[in-house]
Amino acid sequence: MSLSYRQPGVVLTDRRFTVPLDHADPAGETIELYAREVVASEKAGQDLPWLLYLQGGPGFGANRFVGRPAWLGRALKEYRVLLLDQRGTGASTPANRQTLPLRGGPAAQADYLTHFRADSIVRDCEAVRREVTGGAPWTVLGQSFGGFCTVSYLSLAPEGLSAALLTGGLPALDAHADDVYRAAYPRMERKNAAHYARYPQDVERVRRIADHLLQHEVTLPGGHRLTVEAFQTLGILLGTGDGSHRLHHLLEDAFVPTPHGPELSDAFQEQLQHQLSFAGHPLYALVHEAIYGQDHRPTAWSAERVRAEFPQFDAAKTLTGDGPLLLTGETIHPWMFDTDPALRPLRETAELLAARTDWTPLYDPARLAANEVPVAAAIYHDDLYVDTAHSLRTARAIRGLRTWVTDEFEHDGVRAGGPRVLDRLLALVRDEA
């Protein structure tokens, strides 16, 4: 039964859907999906076209907006919006250390998680669309991994789309995970350089924290073991518009004096726990590299292996000199399944996923080359999370796709830019720009 309620300026309706776990076996096991329908209060009774929002990730539930922030206010001027918790996230049959043991042991868990990639998400969307719109196509807005899913949508079920809008989410169609991370580490280095140029005082602060972690064992309040490598992953903040500033504020008061000498403050540790824990999004760690699995090669902890090709990220070596310590981000490593209590029970499951070679293709180059759906993509110049060159190559491979390449925003432009990003994309698909 659907439940409707109000927030400032909007009417929300909770929607639940039952879909097959494996869409190739529609009579088999099912899972539940959850979504929030959003409509402007003044338009609640109107017959409006639908816009489906696909969240970035993988592994994150859709935004829990209050009112009409960011892009949502612009969308609600003409659409009824569906915010879908992709399978395994949010309230859609969650997949985590508590629920996955219901599947059985690690092998059964890994088999189960093979159904949590973009192709299954697209099939979910099609099942939901038929129920929600009565079969009419809808517009899809895909942010980051949501954009990857949208390219899969254009490959697998373009008949379900009236338009496709992508922000920071044009994937390489044929790159292995190794190719993705070989392109990523140099971007990380550039983001570090820009941060330290903006906040030169952070060079010494980061070095001091890293040196402390090399000499002391630190366990955060939630049980997370804080290693130097875990601390370095704070670099993921550098991919957002305000991330450099947030990182700087985080580092400002890391130490307090104690009878035993300087120690990392409780406040600093609490903030690190919130930033580093995967408790709220374990699928991000479990299937992150699997979103690049297509060519019968294992991903095999790609980010960890490729990192060895970039020794400038080695903290111990850096601290023997006087240069800045480089932070990382948007990478998953096997040691995370030892340091994070939310991931520890899933280590063997993650190992099995990293070793799999039976990944099916996620994109259809021939179908994309013949695309007839209006498509527009915002490509953020030097995006930390998605390689610009990969995105531009894919843009050329999708017939009719119009690009907006900008350095005004980082990866989170659709949030930080308010209505402007969505305005621009809609103008592009409508040939108004």
Q: Which of 115, 333, 411, 412 is catalytic?
A: 411
pLDDT at residue 294, as a whole number = 87
Has 314 been annotated as catalytic? no
pLDDT at residue 1, as a whole number = 59
Nearest-10 crossing angle of helices 243-251, 201-215 = 60
pLDDT at residue 310, as a whole number = 98
**pLDDT per residue over 343-360, tens digit each?**
999 999 999 999 999 999
Residue 140: helix, strand or coil by DSSP? strand
**pLDDT per residue over 366-393, tens digit each?**
999 999 999 999 999 999 999 999 999 9
pLDDT, mean of residues 10-16:
97
Residue 56: helix, strand or coil by DSSP? coil
**pLDDT per residue over 22-50, tens digit each?**
999 999 999 999 999 999 999 999 999 99
Report the amino acid identity of residue 71: W
Task: Compute the radius of gyration of the chain from its Cα atoms.
Answer: 22
Has 2 been annotated as catalytic? no
- The span from the CA of 10 to the CA of 68, in Å, is 7
pLDDT band for position 325 (cuts 50, 70, 90): very high
Q: Which residues of 238-248 are buried (b: 16+ CB within 10 A; e: fewer)?
A: bbbbebbebbb
Calculate the average pLDDT of the chain.
Answer: 97
Q: Where are the domains of the chain?
A: 3-174+363-429, 177-355
**Does the pLDDT at position 433 exceed 90?**
no
- The pairing of beta strand 138-143 with beta strand 80-85: unpaired
**Does the pLDDT at position 2 exceed 80?**
no
Q: Which of 25, 47, 322, 358 is catalytic?
A: 358
Contacts of 134 (CB under 8 A, 6+ apart): none
Output the pTM of the full model. Answer: 0.97
- State the first-to-last Cα distance of the chain, in angstroms, to the nearest integer: 42
Do the Cβ atoms of 254 and 238 come closer than 8 Å?
no
pLDDT, mean of residues 115-131:
98
Do the Cβ atoms of 238 and 190 come closer than 8 Å?
no
- The span from the CA of 100 to the CA of 285, in Å, is 14
pLDDT at residue 70, as a whole number = 87
Q: Which of 120, 144, 152, 155 is catalytic?
A: 144
Report the amino acid identity of residue 268: F
Residue of 398, 334, 338 lying closest to 370 (CA atoms): 398
Question: What is the percentage of the chain residues whose pLDDT exceeds 90?
Answer: 97
pLDDT band for position 259 (cuts 50, 70, 90): very high
pLDDT band for position 79 (cuts 50, 70, 90): very high
pLDDT at residue 329, as a whole number = 86
**Does the pLDDT at position 307 exceed 70?**
yes
- The span from the CA of 115 to the CA of 125, in Å, is 14
Residue of 26, 35, 38, 123 lying closest to 73 (CA atoms): 38
Q: Which CATH code is given to the segment(s) 3-174+363-429?
A: 3.40.50.1820
- The span from the CA of 16 to the CA of 24, in Å, is 21
Has 322 been annotated as catalytic? no
Q: DSSP E strands: which ranges in 176-319? A: 218-219, 225-226, 255-256, 263-264
